[in-house]
Amino acid sequence: METIADAYAQNASIHEGLKAAVAGLTAEQLTRRPEGEKWSIQEIVEHIAIVHEGTGRICAKLVREAKAAGGVGEGKINLSGGFGEKSKAIADMKVDAPERVHPTGEMTIDEAFTKMDTTREFFESLRGDMEAADLSVHTFPHPYFGQITAAEWLVLAGGHESRHIAQIERLKEKL
């Protein structure tokens, strides 16, 4: 992945994969928590919606800072070496989500997807500025990755969703 456009395209493809992963599941399958699991499929989707909304706010803040600084970008994504290393390391690691992004269990699957659609529209509104601004300077801390840029947050959003699709597939096997 070399450009902001690539990240947007990849994230859209991953999101379609999430929709496919839950398509056709019954309400009972969506809300049932298999033995030994902390969250149901519906709660995982709610968690993704919560995380993506927060990621959108973080990206907007970083883009505002980048625009104010006046640096010009070329629409490229420059992932730090540390980001790549941590991405590989976390791939098979079980990670506990911070309490602030835990699902409430009160959001339906449709409400979670509506929230994600709203967030995707918000991300789309940032796209031109993300492609035009120098995103390499300003960072915001992630609990595991440390200080990362808006471009890295954008890539991480897709990676996060992809990670949970795999989790959903494992849960489906237990149902």
CATH at 100? 1.20.120.450
Considering its fold, how many domains does the chain have in total? 1
pLDDT score at 141: 96
For residue 110, the enclosing domain spans 4-174
Helices (H), ranges, the chain: 4-22, 27-31, 41-69, 81-90, 109-132, 150-174
Task: Convert the pLDDT of each residue in 58-82 to its tens digit.
Answer: 999 999 999 999 989 889 898 888 8
Give yes or no for residue 121 having a pLDDT over 90.
yes
pTM (two decimals): 0.94
Burial class (CB in 10 A: 0-12, 13-18, 19+), 62: buried
Q: What is the pLDDT of residue 44?
A: 97
Alpha-carbon distance of 152 to 50, in angstroms, equals 18
* 34-59 mean pLDDT: 96
Tell me the C-alpha distance between 12 and 19, whole Å.
11
Which residue carries 């993704």 as its tokens?
Answer: 48
The arithmetic mean of pLDDT across residues 93-113, rounded, is 92
Closest CA relative to residue 12, chosen from 121, 133, 115, 88: 121
What is the tens place of the pLDDT at every residue in 133-164? 999 999 999 989 999 999 999 999 999 999 99
